[in-house]
Structures are given as structure tokens and as C-alpha cells.
A and B are shown apart, each in its own frame.
Chain A
Amino acid sequence: MGYRSTKNLAIFTSLQLLIISVAVGLVSATGIPSGVHGITVSPALQQISIPRGQPSYTFNTGLANNTSQTVVVQLSARDFTGLNESGAISFLTPQKSNSNVHSLAQNITFELSQFVLTPYQTTTVPITIVNANELSNGGHYAAIIYKVTSAPVHGISNPVSVNEAVSSLVFVTTIGTGTQSLALQYASIGDISLTFPNTVNLVLTDKGNTQTVPTGVVQITNANNAIVSQTEINTTSNLILPQFSREFKISLTSYKFNPPTGYYTFKFYYKTPAQMGYSLYEKKFIFISRQAVILAVVILVLLIVLIAQRVKSIARINPRDKYSA
């Protein structure tokens, strides 16, 4: 009995050890860390003004490792350009970067191009723009890319490694060398409207050589020049890149309910930070209210009924006329 229980205990313990060793082996073979790999960059974008002639400029960005893993971060800079009208960027290949007049990546240097972030560590990363006095006139921009490098993967067949990277967009203006100029490309206001406009799409283009933050006010006034609805554009301070357009979808705040049918004026005041006064776009439009449409339909129906009755009565008279003739 004693021998059997000792044997059972040995078998049980051996099985347990086997299971544990297999599990440990699997984990170490995959190399998959247990935690996630989130990193935060702040600010995600920043605007820098460098005085004319100043050769270099150093600024800071913050990076946080939100994970329980130690990570290695590689720094690089990459030029970009606008992708569409919604504030997206398109990273440039090195070849295209060379011909980009707004290039900045080549002027960006790092004290450390690679560093370690311990679990939950936050660090400040100093970044220097060198030869700033040699930058061409106008705006320059690039993305600082913080790439978390992963350990090589072993023990999995046909794996795809996934690296993560976050970027901080840097927009530089050299004071006194840039031009900012806005042009309205499109406003979604027609000549006649059956619904009173409460949302408007506006497309602005930066005709200058420097990125700009447009500001402005949209108003709709009635025939007495009283404001019916109004709103401010670009309250989130979005940028327009030079020679690019950006769409602003705005919602108007109404001050008068159920505006009556009539002539209205759409007014758009807009400017760049460099402008003293606002540029003004005005467009008159006719708003036909639902009540007016219903009334018109009712009158039309009545007219049709009257005409139909008239035609009927004429048709009744005509045969007699025919016979009398």
C-alpha cells in the first residue's frame, strides 16, 4: 500500500512538472510579452516660430511608456505633405522629400537616436532643428517618429512581426519669411433652398508659402440684416498647409426659429493670423419655407380643381352648341 501511494505521488508530481515545463517552454518560445505596448506622444503636433537668422532651435516632446514592459524606442524624422482636405498627411519617400520645398526632416537632429523606456516611464525628448537660418522662405514641417523596436520572434512558423510607432508633427515658421493667404474655394450654399441651412461645408485654400490657422465667422442674415444664425469656424485650430485646401464642416447656431420665406444673405468672414481684417464672402439666397411650399401646393391643387370643373362645364355646354349649330 505504501509503495503504491508513493508511486502514485511520484507519477502525479512528474505530470505536474511536465505540464509546467511545457507551458514555460511555450511561453519562452513564442517570445510574446504578456502586456500591451502602448506609447503616448505629447504634443502630437506643435507649431514653432524661429526668429529669422537663428541657426538652431531646440524643443521638447514627451513620450510615455504605458506598459509593464521595457521598450526600446528609435527616433527618426520624416517629411510629409497633405493627403486630402481633412488634415491627413502623406509621408514622403526620400526621393520626393528632396524636392519638397517645405522639407524639414533633414534639419532635425536628436541627442539620442535610440533610448530605453522602463515600464510606465515618461520622458522628455529634446529635438533640435539645425541650420534653421538656411531653411528656405515659408513653412517647413516633418514628423518625428518614435518607433518601438520589437525583439525577434522565434518558435512560431511564418510569423509577421508588427512594430508600432507614434509620431509628433512639427510645423516650423521662420519669422518674417512666410506669406499666408486664404482663398475660399467652395461654400455649399445654393441660390434657392427649401430647408434653412444649418450645416455648411467650406473649403479654404492657403495660397501662401506658410501653413496657417484660419479663423472666421459664418453668418446668415435676413433682409433686415438681422442675424438669423451664426457660428465660428475652426475652433480646434486646424492647419492648412501651403498650396493645400482644407474642408470645414460647420454647424450653424440658430437665433430665430422657423425663419420665414424670403431673401437671406450668407456671409463668411475669414482671415489668417497674419491678416488684420477679415475677408468677406457674401451670397444671397432664397429660402422657401415648408409652410410656403404647402400653401403653394394647396393653391395649385385648388387651381387644378377649378380648371377641371371649368373644363367639365365647357364640355357640357359644347355639345349643345354643337347641336344648335
Chain B
Amino acid sequence: MKSKIFNKIKKAYLLAIVAAFVLGNGLLLAPKVFALTYLVKPQIILTNMNATGSSSVIIEFTTSASNTGTSLSLTFTGWTGGAAGSVNTVQPVSANYNSIACTAITGASSYLPGVPAATGSGATVTFSGITTLTASHSYCAVLSSATAVTNPTVVNSYPAVLTSGTDAASGVAVDVITNDQVVVTATVPPSFTLVVGSNTDAFGTLSTIAANASAGVTCTLSTNGTGWYLYGIDSNAGLTSANTSHTIPALTFGTNKTISAGTEDYITGLPSGSTTPGTGGGSVTLPAAYSSSGLGNGAGLGNTQLRNLASYTVGPTSGATVVVKEFTSITGTTPAATDYTDTITLVGAGTF
């Protein structure tokens, strides 16, 4: 009788132990072995990884084959405030970071479905407003505030936990480093371009009764520096004919004058109405000596020194133009020839 009672008690204990084992297996062990699903390749991006810095957060994950949940939360483990790092309570959610779609940044297929919103509490950001997730689908979202999180002051790799729908919580790591910025420097050297429209400037047949003007040569000047100067020098100090060994001389240098028919003279002038400043605006300056009305006034260049013909000191410009013209007058006794010639060299320089 006594042993029967003992056996009954023993059976009851055994049943209880078996029941406890079955219950424990069902609740704790079995789900992890058989039924649990996981997020695929979750990632958390801090847009500013600097220690002590604040950052927006970009989230990306792929649901498992059975996850059709509607929840999402992100916990920065240990970011409880102050030097340990913190999570802002106000968490605007966006599909973009700096106007770039999170899908483009992360490669995810789509932004979170529904009208996602989020709030921060402690170290956790909890999302709401997400509609049913699609299984085996990659999603992204941006906690767009520049102060969504404040990074810890100590450089380290910190754990975070991302939980979504029916999938198990997934651990990820975020790095906080000393400096995540690379300062890029570059120097653009000043450059200068001179375009001379033509290498020849013909007078044609010279007249004894009026001042003769050449067609003129257009010079186009460009610089990314602070300005430019144009200089000129004459090789012959006049129009020289090899056939007659005669030179129509430049009578004065560097002083503005108007030539007159009946006197041999040869000068250079830049018509003031033909200058343009290019893209830099402002105006081209013509020195008094070489500023011309275009009607036979200017100054001799000479062959001893480069003389300033024009300048522009406003700043960078492209396509500024000046026209360089020559004027000459002859007498009735100037020896006839068709080979009167001269060579002018125009030198452009940037300002210093």
C-alpha cells in the first residue's frame, strides 16, 4: 500500500518533470532551433562617425522568407546619455538623406511601407505607421535629424540591435572614430590665354591725301587670375620697304597724337569703342597714349621697349577683346613700293 502511494507520487513527479521539459522546450529551446527567422544583412550607417559628433542614421535590412510584420525598432546598446552616447526623442523619418534616396545609398529595394514615424526613448528608436512588410524584401529608412543620435565620446565599435516584424532581433555594430573627414585641398594655378585674330594687318595702297588705317587685329584675352596686361613692340620703328630702302618712321613714341596727310608718320592705336571686358565685366583700360578714336590717332610703339597697350584689373575674365590698329600717313615724295612692312609683337601677361 505504502509502495503504491510512493509509486503514484513518483509518477506524478515524473509527469511534472516531463511536462516542464515539454513546456520549456516549446517556449525556449524549440523556437530557436526550428521556428526562428532572422533579418538578412541588416546595416546601420552613422552619417557622422566622429566621437562627440551628432549623426543622422540610415537603416537597411532584408526581411526573412516569413516576415510580414509591421514593427521596427533600433537600440543603441548602452547609449544612455552623456559621454555614453544618446538617442534623440524626436526622430523624423525620411526616405532620403541630403536629397539622396536611401535606396540609392544602401541598395535596398524600397523605403519602409506605409507612413513611417519614429520616437526615441532611452537608447531605443521605435517606429510606427509601418504597414505589412513583404517577406524576403529589402527596406531602408533614414532617421533624418542631424542629431538623431549623439555619438559616444570614446572611440570604439558599439553594438546595436535591430528588430523588425516577426524576425529575431539582429545585432549590428556601429563604429565611432576620431575623424571621419578627409580634407581635400587643391591649387588652381593662374593661367593666361592670348588669341590674336590674324597674323597680318594690311594697309593696302596708301593715300597721300588722308590718314591710312589698317584693318586692325582683334586680340582676345582670358585669365583666371586677377587681370591681364597687353604690351606691344615694333621691330622696325616704322614701315620699311626693302626695295626702296625707305622707312616711313614713327615720329614719336608713347605720346598720343593724330597723324596728318602730307607728313610721313606711323602710329599704333586701340579704338576705345572696340574694347569689351569679357565675362568679368567692368572695363578694359587703354592708356592715354594708345587710346584711339579710330580716326588716325595713337602713338608710335618703337623698337626699344615693350609698351603697355591695354589692361584689365577687375579679376578673372574670359573673352575680353581689344583691337590693335596701325595708322600711317605719307607724302607725295614717299618712294613707291608695295613691300612696306613692319612686324609688331603683342605680349600678354597676367597681373601679379
Q: Which A residues are closer than 8 A to B by beta carbons?
A: 30-33, 36-46, 66, 78, 83, 86-93, 143, 145, 147, 150-151, 153, 156-169, 171, 236, 238-239, 241
Q: Does B200 lie within 8 Å of A159, measured CB to CB?
A: yes
B345's closest neighbor in chain A, by CB?
A163
Q: Does B341 lie within 8 Å of A166, measured CB to CB?
A: no
Contacting chain A: which of B48-56, B187-195, B269-277?
A: B187-195
Contacts of A42 in B (CB 8 A): 189-192
Q: Does A36 lie within 8 Å of B196, measured CB to CB?
A: yes
From residue B350, how far is it (CB to closest CB) to chain A in Å?
Answer: 3
**B324 lies within 8 A of chain A by Cβ:** yes
Q: Does A83 lie within 8 Å of B308, measured CB to CB?
A: yes
Contacts of A151 in B (CB 8 A): 199
30 contacting pairs across A/B (C-beta < 8 A):
A32-B198, A32-B199, A36-B195, A36-B196, A36-B220, A37-B199, A38-B195, A38-B220, A43-B190, A44-B191, A45-B350, A66-B195, A83-B308, A86-B227, A86-B351, A87-B351, A87-B352, A88-B308, A157-B202, A158-B204, A159-B200, A159-B341, A160-B202, A162-B199, A162-B200, A162-B217, A162-B324, A164-B194, A165-B345, A238-B352
Q: Mark B274-315, 1 if CB is under 8 A from A, else 0.
A: 000000000000000000000000000000111010010101
From residue B213, how far is it (CB to closest CB) to chain A in Å?
Answer: 11
**B349 lies within 8 A of chain A by Cβ:** yes
B320-352 interface with A by 8 A CB criterion: 324, 326, 338-352
Tell me which of A92, A143, A153, A171 contacts B200 (CB under 8 A): A153
Q: Does A166 lie within 8 Å of B197, measured CB to CB?
A: no
Q: Does A89 lie within 8 Å of B199, measured CB to CB?
A: no
B325's closest neighbor in chain A, by CB?
A160
**B229 lies within 8 A of chain A by Cβ:** yes
Contacts of B192 in A (CB 8 A): 40-42, 44, 166-168
Contacts of B225 in A (CB 8 A): 44-45, 236
Q: Does B201 lie within 8 Å of A162, measured CB to CB?
A: yes
From residue B45, how far is it (CB to closest CB) to chain A in Å?
Answer: 38
Q: Does B338 lie within 8 Å of A157, measured CB to CB?
A: yes
Given contacts A83-B308, A157-B202, contact A162 B196 (CB under 8 A): yes
The distance in angstroms between the C-alpha atoms of A165 and B214, with both chains bound, is: 21
**B231 lies within 8 A of chain A by Cβ:** yes
The distance in angstroms between the C-alpha atoms of A171 and B315, with both chains bound, is: 20
**B251 lies within 8 A of chain A by Cβ:** no
From residue B239, how far is it (CB to closest CB) to chain A in Å?
Answer: 7
Given contacts A32-B199, A158-B204, contact A165 B347 (CB under 8 A): yes
From residue B288, how far is it (CB to closest CB) to chain A in Å?
Answer: 13
Contacts of A92 in B (CB 8 A): 305
Given contacts A45-B350, A145-B347, contact A160 B342 (CB under 8 A): yes
B248-271 interface with A by 8 A CB criterion: none
Q: Does A161 lie within 8 Å of B199, measured CB to CB?
A: yes
A-B pair count, CB < 8 Å, reads 178
- 13 additional A-B pairs beyond A160-B239, A164-B195, A239-B352, beta carbons within 8 Å, are A38-B194, A40-B193, A41-B193, A42-B191, A43-B190, A45-B350, A151-B199, A156-B200, A163-B346, A164-B346, A166-B193, A168-B192, A171-B352
B231's closest neighbor in chain A, by CB?
A91
Contacts of B231 in A (CB 8 A): 91
| Interface residue tally on B, bucketed by range | 35 or more
SS class of chain B's interface: helix, strand, loop or mixed? strand
From residue B258, how far is it (CB to closest CB) to chain A in Å?
Answer: 19
Q: Does A161 lie within 8 Å of B344, measured CB to CB?
A: yes
**B223 lies within 8 A of chain A by Cβ:** yes
The distance in angstroms between the C-alpha atoms of A168 and B228, with both chains bound, is: 11
Given contacts A44-B350, A87-B351, contact A160 B203 (CB under 8 A): yes
**B101 lies within 8 A of chain A by Cβ:** no
Tell me which of A36, A91, A169 contacts B306 (CB under 8 A): A91
Tell me which of B198, B202, B205, B352 contacts A89 (CB under 8 A): B352
B204's closest neighbor in chain A, by CB?
A157
A40's closest neighbor in chain B, by CB?
B193
Tell me which of B194, B204, B304, B346 contacts A93 (CB under 8 A): B304
From residue A31, how far is it (CB to closest CB) to chain B in Å?
Answer: 8
Contacts of B117 in A (CB 8 A): none
B222-247 interface with A by 8 A CB criterion: 223, 225-227, 229, 231, 239
The distance in angstroms between the C-alpha atoms of A89 and B201, with both chains bound, is: 27
Q: Does B349 lie within 8 Å of A153, measured CB to CB?
A: no
Q: Which of A92, A157, A236 has the largest number of chain B CB atoms within 10 A?
A: A157
The distance in angstroms between the C-alpha atoms of A83 and B308, with both chains bound, is: 9
The distance in angstroms between the C-alpha atoms of A308 and B191, with both chains bound, is: 70
The distance in angstroms between the C-alpha atoms of A143 and B351, with both chains bound, is: 12
From residue A71, how far is it (CB to closest CB) to chain B in Å?
Answer: 10
The distance in angstroms between the C-alpha atoms of A66 and B193, with both chains bound, is: 9
Q: Does B342 lie within 8 Å of A45, measured CB to CB?
A: no
**B108 lies within 8 A of chain A by Cβ:** no
